[in-house]
Chains A and B, each alone.
Chain A
Amino acid sequence: MRFKNIIKRISTFLLANFLILLHLSWRIIFHQPIDLLNIIMTVFLWLIVLNPRQKYILAATYTLLVCELFYTSPFGLESFSQISALLLANWLLLNVLTNRSLIIVFFTGLISMIVYRTIFVILSYSNSILQNNTANISPILIKLFFHEALLTAVTLSVIYLISSIFVKRLRPEYVLETSRII
């Protein structure tokens, strides 16, 4: 049992590292608008939607903190915004949006990305003001963020749609439930 737990933890750690590399490579390989897809947020939101577990939140924290090394914004600003959005999404999925329909998944993705960008904009502009730099919210920037949110939400929905087919059919509890109904 302990060995199984160790294997699970190692696999989560490997997944987190793989995501970091995938996210960085994605930004190099693809150009706008495809590179706007936030792979880390998409994958962790998908995992939270499927199975809300503590380890995913911790893995997301690790992933985002490592990714922070490749940001030019003050350390912690990006990861704080993204972790806050993930925690909110987790809370919403457990307490408010308890249904797992496609539309709920799509809106969870959209709300999370909007929350992430809102927190990020507020923090980065507060930082600019504190450092006596000029800060202005451009409509182009908002448009860019909206595209990012939409792309991430659509990708999350597509991944969820594909995965739910397999997850529902291969989950033993589901089979037991179905047989009980029959």
Chain B
Amino acid sequence: MQYHSFKKTYLLVIGVFFLIIFLHYLGALNFIENKIRNTIVLVLKPITTRIQQDGTAPNSDLCLGTSTSSTADQLSIKNKILEQENFELKNQLNFKNRGLSHLITAEIVAKNLDTADQIIVLNRGSIDGIKNDQPVIYGDGILVGKIIKVEENISFARVLSDNHSKIAATILNTDHSLGIVEGGFGLSIKMTFIPRNENIITGDQIITSGLEMSMPRGLTIGKVAAIENESYQPFQQAVITPAIDYEKINFVGVISAQ
């Protein structure tokens, strides 16, 4: 008897579920979805604010900058960037063309619920000028990730440590080594495709190379923590210590090329 009644439940659940999915892809539920999303974000906001006040995560603000150690790193990076820019006028011009003309401050209101992804939900969306692939930074130019999905009032950013995250980067060493920074399920970040003949030292700073669209050059990624140079592999790779703990940030900035 009970089994029979659940047979009805199964059919009802499957029917309702596929109807909602169908209506979602038709776009008929956009209004309701946005309303629900906004309400949840609104309710979650006091919780995130409370976490900040309790000190679970560092109380950060884009205008105030970051801790002294990271500020020193930033200054060091800026010096190195300036040296390079003296020799590379063309790159400087490109940098200026891609200049950080507009920065949208956003608050992290949630994290992606899937454990396999390292994705943060920001309380700014398409109405604030956020678009896909825009870089997300923390403090004075520390790269956090990239925007991957934009809704009307919220947006989703893929953090550097996510498995699908791939950013063109350069090492501030004598060879100015180029490579790709990839994440590893929120557990690690490494830089791959570095030519084997180039010298990398532990502690070398890694910044964005600016070789991809909408990603300016010079955003801090981290430092080289370990080097893996195997003779049987065509490239060497470097394990990176990120400039910040991505789990402990509350405010970020989205670089908009407006």
Contacts and interface: CB of A to CB of B under 8 A. Distances in A.
Interface string A67-80: 10111110110111
A69 B33 contact: yes
B17 A61 contact: yes
A153 B51 CA distance: 28
A155 to B, nearest CB: 14
Size band of the interface chain A makes with B: 35 or more
The A interface is mostly helix, strand or loop, or mixed, namely: helix
A45 B137 CA distance: 39
Contacts of A58: 9, 12-13, 16
A52 B6 contact: yes
Interface in A47-77: 52, 54, 57-58, 61, 65-67, 69-73, 75-76
B40 A144 contact: no
B114 A73 contact: yes
The B interface is mostly helix, strand or loop, or mixed, namely: helix
B187 interface: yes
Contact of A76 (B2, B6, B21): B21
B93 interface: no
Contacts of B13: 57-58, 61, 83, 87
Contact of A28 (B48, B115, B117, B186): B48
Contacts of B92: none
19 contacts: A21-B47, A25-B44, A27-B112, A29-B47, A29-B51, A54-B8, A61-B13, A69-B33, A69-B36, A72-B156, A72-B158, A76-B20, A83-B17, A90-B6, A91-B6, A94-B3, A140-B185, A141-B163, A145-B116
Interface of A: 20-21, 23-25, 27-29, 31-32, 35-36, 38, 52, 54, 57-58, 61, 65-67, 69-73, 75-76, 78-80, 83, 87, 90-91, 94-95, 138, 140-141, 144-145, 148
